[in-house]
Amino acid sequence: MRTIAARSARTRGPKLGRPAGSFTQNRRFEALRRALEKAPAGLTIEELAVTLKMTSRSVRRYLREFDNKGEDGAGLLEFVETRKGGPLRWRIKPGERGRAVSLRRAQAYAVLATRRVFEVLRGSALYDEADLALAQIAKVAQTPFRASGKAEISGEQHLEDRFLFVQPPARSYASRGEDLDELFRAVADLRVLRYRPRVRPGEPRAERVPFHPYAMVVHQGAIHVLGARATGARASAEVDVLPLESMTDIRTSETEHFELPPTFDASQYVQGDFGVARPARARFIVEFEARVADEVKSKRIHPQQRIATAPDGRVRMSLPLVDPRAAIAFVLSWGDAARVVEPPELVNEIGTILSRAASRYP
């Protein structure tokens, strides 16, 4: 009976030590984080040891590692007494809850692949913050691990240099870091800002314009601001789309705020390959030769594009005419494989451009 009782006691409760199989240190750390996030009131070291199937000594080591991930050395964790003289209960600081994000290795590499997107912000404090976050994510991706299963990706093969999301070349705003930070703060906190419109050399300095910045959009390596001019406490009902190049000397108000219009939707102003512009009802139609039909049908030029295929293989595409200059550049990029069908004004404009170009090649 004593042998049976002893055997039963040994099988009760979690088995301590490293579990069999591909249980890596990184997985243990993630298990600790999940356990703490699920228990806002905190857990004692003994409770964590049972939950994670670790020794108390290992729990303390992982707690120290987790705590060191706080900013400026402040730490992410704190402890509270369960009762006077009783065991301590460890928990994530209330102010840090929701700020700690768990990333698996594949997720970390996916985020790192987009790091070149932030080059357009270089020179601003916002860029520095993004760069710091990406450096911390890189540490997650490169953390060594013992075992490797099908679900794990190695952190030792420099994938961060081989999995890239390449943006078009970004414009340089390095000399306008202060303006970028002011603009971002105004957009984030719904603060009124004032700017001076850029003028040509020799023209008098422009007066400041009060502006309600609704959104900040980076498109094709350039920054655009969506918002409305303000008169007193009221803003225009019409949304303006301003390139950052047209705005100078940006200053954010410390006291004036505005309300975002409930119907505002920034995505309505992102016009695919045609840039950032107000929505347009007018459309234009382009006909493509059959030899480029597959390429045309595989492209997503605009969210509202429509495509029709003729029996002989030719393709017609209908697109919103949000910016005639962008439409002309799009059509000309296809060379002699594309022809504008309508509207007549666009047909005539492109015909004139091609005639002038042909006159240069006798």
Q: pLDDT of 117-142, one tens digit each? A: 999 999 999 999 899 889 888 887 87
CB of 326 closer than 8 Å to CB of 275: yes
How many helices (H) and strands (E) would you count in the chain? Answer: 10, 13
DSSP secondary structure letters along 50-67: HHHT--HHHHHHHHHHHH
Model confidence at 7, pLDDT cuts 50, 70, 90, reads very low
**Exposure of 356 in the CB half-sphere (CA atoms within 13 A):** 5
Domains defined along the chain, listed by start: 2-96 (1.10.10.10), 105-161 (no CATH), 174-269 (2.30.30), 272-358 (3.30.70)
- Specify the pLDDT at position 71: 53
Structure confidence at residue 298 (pLDDT): 94
pTM over 0.85: no
Average pLDDT (154-169) is 82
Higher-scoring residue by pLDDT: 72, 54? 54
Q: Any idea which of 13-27, 63-77, 299-313, 347-361 has the lowest mean pLDDT?
A: 13-27
pLDDT for position 85: 76
Does the pLDDT at position 21 exceed 80? no
Mean pLDDT for the stretch of residues 43-66: 87
Name, of 4-18, 37-51, 346-360, the range with top average pLDDT. Answer: 346-360
Grade residue 29 by pLDDT with cuts at 50, 70 and 90: confident
